[in-house]
A and B are shown apart, each in its own frame.
Chain A
Amino acid sequence: MDRHTLAQALARAVPGLEVVATPEALRPFESDGLTALRQLPLVAVLPDRVEQVQAVLRFCFEAKIPVVARGAGTGLSGGALPCEAGVLLVLAKLNRILEINPMRQCARLQPGVRNLAISEAAAPHDLFYAPDPSSQIACSIGGNVAENAGGVHCLKYGLTVHNLLAVTIVTVEGDLLTLGGPTLEAPGLDLLALFTGSEGLLGVVVEVTVRLRPIPAQQEVLLAAFDSIRASGDAVAAVIAAGIIPAGMELMDKLAVQAAEDFVHAGYPRDAAAVLLCELDGAPAVLAETRERVMAVLRAAGASSITVSDSDEARLRLWSGRKNAFPAVGRLAPDYYCMDGTIPRRYLGEVLDAIAARSEAAGLPVANVFHAGDGNLHPLILYDANTPDGVARAEALGNEILALCVAYGGSVTGEHGVGVEKLDAMCSQFAPPELARFKALKAAFDPEGLLNPGKAVPTLARCAELGGMHVHHGQLPHPELPRL
Chain B
Amino acid sequence: MSAGPAPRRDLSLDPFVQDAAERIRQAAAAGVVLIPRGNSTRDAALRAHAGEALALGAYAGIVQHTPTELVVTARAGTPLRTLVAALAAEGQRLPFEPPLGDPRATLGGAVALGTSGPARPYRAALRDALLGVTLLDGTGTLCRFGGEVMKNVAGFDVSRLMAGSYGQLGAMLEISLRLEPCPEVTQTQALACDLDDALARMPALAARPGALTGLAWLDGQLLARFEGGAVEVALDAAAAGGETLPPPVADNLWSTLREGPLAPLAGEHLWRLALPVDAPVWALPSARWAVDWGGGRRWLSTTAPDAAVEQALSAVGGHGLRVAPSVRRSPQPGALRALEARVAGAMDPSGVFAHGAAPGEAD
Contacts and interface: CB of A to CB of B under 8 A. Distances in A.
Contacts of A238: 68
Given A161-B160, A214-B207, A414 B151 contact: yes
A243 B158 CA distance: 29
A216 interface: yes
A429 B147 CA distance: 10
A61 to B, nearest CB: 15
A384 B349 CA distance: 48
B156 A198 contact: yes
A216 B209 contact: yes
A194 B231 contact: no
Interface stretch (A11-19, A133-141, A184-192, A266-274): A184-192
A289 B182 CA distance: 17
A187 B319 contact: yes
Contacts of A188: 164, 332, 336-337, 340, 358-359
Interface in B31-52: none
Interface string A216-255: 1100000000000000000001101101110000000000
Question: Which of A147, A148, A182, A288 gathers most chain B CB within 10 Å?
Answer: A182
A183 B274 contact: yes
A78 B148 CA distance: 26
B335 interface: yes
Contact of B297 (A184, A411, A471): A184
Given A286-B229, A410-B149, A414-B151, A183 B275 contact: yes
B155 A417 contact: no
A415 B231 contact: no
B7 A474 contact: yes
Q: How large is the interface on B (under 10, 10 to 19, 20 to 34, 35 or more residues)?
A: 35 or more
A415 B152 CA distance: 7
A177 interface: yes
A46 interface: no
Interface stretch (B99-107, B117-125, B261-269, B282-290): B117-125
A193 B163 contact: yes
A375 B131 CA distance: 14
A342 B164 CA distance: 27
Given A184-B121, A374-B151, A441-B346, A434 B210 contact: no
Contacts of B277: 103-104
Interface stretch (B136-144, B240-248, B252-260): B136-144
Interface stretch (A86-94, A299-307, A345-353): A345-353
Contact of A240 (B69, B154, B275): B69
A276 interface: no
Contacts of B335: 175, 177
Contacts of A281: 209
B141 to A, nearest CB: 4
Nearest to B320: A187
B276 A104 contact: yes
Main secondary structure, interface of B, reads loop
B71 interface: yes
Contacts of B318: 182-183
B208 interface: yes
Contacts of A179: 336
A282 B8 contact: no
Interface string B1-32: 11011111010000000000000000000000
Given A184-B296, A411-B147, A148 B153 contact: yes
A128 B68 CA distance: 30
A187 B332 contact: yes
B311 interface: no
Interface in A156-184: 158-159, 161-162, 175, 177, 179, 181-184
Given A216-B209, A289-B231, A184 B5 contact: no
B127 interface: yes
B312 interface: no
Contacts of B2: 350, 353, 483-484
Given A187-B321, A484-B1, A193 B161 contact: yes
B135 to A, nearest CB: 10
A409 interface: yes
A443 interface: yes
A121 interface: no
A99 to B, nearest CB: 13
A473 B153 contact: no
Question: Which of A147, A344, A473 gathers most chain B CB within 10 Å?
Answer: A344
Given A104-B278, A187-B330, A215-B209, A434 B344 contact: no
A457 B155 contact: yes
B61 interface: no
Nearest to A422: B154
A104 B207 CA distance: 10
Contacts of A411: 147, 149, 151-154
Contact of A194 (B125, B161, B296, B336): B161
A313 B203 CA distance: 32
B127 A193 contact: yes
A409 B149 contact: yes
3 tightest Cβ-Cβ pairs between the two chains A and B: A243-B181, A474-B8, A474-B7
Given A104-B278, A415-B153, 8 more contacts: A214-B206, A241-B67, A283-B210, A289-B230, A426-B155, A441-B158, A456-B155, A473-B10
Interface of A: 102-105, 126, 147-148, 150, 154, 158-159, 161-162, 175, 177, 179, 181-191, 193-194, 196-198, 202, 213-217, 237-238, 240-241, 243-245, 281-283, 285-286, 288-290, 342-347, 350, 353, 371, 374-376, 407-418, 422, 425-426, 429-431, 433-438, 440-445, 456-457, 471, 473-475, 483-484
23 contacts: A162-B128, A177-B335, A184-B297, A185-B274, A188-B359, A189-B340, A189-B343, A194-B156, A194-B157, A194-B160, A243-B181, A245-B181, A281-B209, A282-B232, A289-B230, A350-B4, A410-B149, A434-B145, A443-B346, A444-B342, A457-B155, A473-B7, A474-B5
